[in-house]
Amino acid sequence: MSYDLIQTLIVAVIVAVAAAMMARRLFPRTAEAVARRLGLKPAAKPAAGCDSGCASCNGCKTLNFDLPPKK
């Protein structure tokens, strides 16, 4: 291999890594979706129980947030 070809390949790798890092920073959701499709990142598990949101268990309705008046 010639020196020019090796130098071109190294520059191409540096540019590709920089472009991937920039895309990940500017488009985080898209970058995560692409990573999942390529198998680089496992799919997110759906949240269950109290982690899935307020409407899942209605626990907020059972708590009494009314404070007694200050004297």
pLDDT of residue 22: 94
| Residue 63 DSSP label | S
- Rounded-to-integer distance, Cα 47 and Cα 50, Å: 8
Q: pLDDT under 50 in the chain at which residues?
A: none
pTM: 0.50
pLDDT of residue 41: 74
H/E stretch holding 2? none
Q: At 50, which amino acid appears?
A: C
Q: How far is CA 29 from CA 8, 13, 17, 62, in A?
A: 31, 24, 18, 35
Name, in order, each residue with C-beta under 8 angstroms of 52's C-beta and a sequence gap of 6 or more: 46
pLDDT of residue 39: 85
